[in-house]
Structure 1
């Protein structure tokens, strides 16, 4: 070995990085796990849009829904075993929305949840035949 000090410093730095990456607060772990559960349609939510000038309700969505913010609010809800509905809600300066979790669910604060779906690993291929 030509540089034992350099190798030891690199090993120490990698160990520190790995230890820091594993450190997370219980609240952060629970929050991440709740978000993953909601994306798997395991969380009952109520989402309400309110006009902040008038106080009027603009929309209301309730169900096992996943929320995405991509400029607009995108709400995807599971309606049945194989039935889903997607709602797009445009944002404006005088609109506020609130999402409330309707019931408690059990998530671990000790383990981060990882969801792997085999159908997501294998792409769906549509073959079309025809004359060229």
Structure 2
């Protein structure tokens, strides 16, 4: 059986899904943990409006504000903010952090997520290569 056959792809997808689901079930133990994880996943899918504000902790002045359906990733001294600006349009901002520059992220509206069910977003095209493509 070739790797590109659909039977093999289904087995790989099932195995990866089981690993992800098992990891999430072990990692979240309380209702708050489940809700927090689900809110983070919704934000990373650009479904939640946020406001990201950068401020100088010494002068108490705002330096920058970004609003929209944005996903954030804190990379130590740099915050990466990716925002969806259209149907298939995105903008990514890199903002440096220091001992006097910090940020906070505000969720602009309440959204409904389950406290009983974990949300797993599985995109097989991101992990299974298209081996039939030249």
Q: Which TM-score tier does this pair reach, normalised by the shorter chain? A: 0.7 to 0.9
User: Is 1:55–2:70 an aligned residue pair?
Assistant: no
Runs of 4+ in structure 1 deviating by more than 2 angstroms, as ranges, are 20-23, 121-127
Q: 1: CA distance between counterparts of 2:39 and 2:63? A: 26
Could you say which structure has the larger radius of gyration? 1
Structure 2 gaps of 5+ residues are 1-24
Q: Supply the RMSD in Å over aligned alpha carbons.
A: 2.1
* 3-state SS of paired residue (2:98): coil
Identify if the C-alpha distance between structure 1 residues 64 and 124 changes in structure 2 by more than 3 Å, giving closer, same or farther: farther
* 3-state SS of paired residue (1:103): coil
Q: Is this contact kept in 1: 2:53–2:103, CA < 8 A?
A: yes
1:17 maps to which residue?
none
Q: 2: CA distance between counterparts of 1:92 and 1:45? A: 22
2:40 maps to which residue?
35
1:68 maps to which residue?
73
Task: Tell which has more relative contact order, 1 or 2 (C-alpha 8 A, sep 6+).
Answer: 2
User: Is 1:92–2:98 an aligned residue pair?
Assistant: yes
Q: Is this contact kept in 1: 2:28–2:34, CA < 8 A?
A: no
Cα deviation, 1:79-116, whole Å, max 9, x if unaligned, reads 01100000000011101211000011110000100001
How many pairs are equivalent?
A: 108
Single out whichever of 113-122 and 27-36 deviates more from structure 2: 113-122
Q: 2: CA distance between counterparts of 1:22 and 1:45? A: 25
Q: CA deviation at 1:121?
A: 3.3
1:8 maps to which residue?
none
Q: CA deviation at 1:53?
A: 0.9
TM-score, length-normalised on structure 2? 0.74
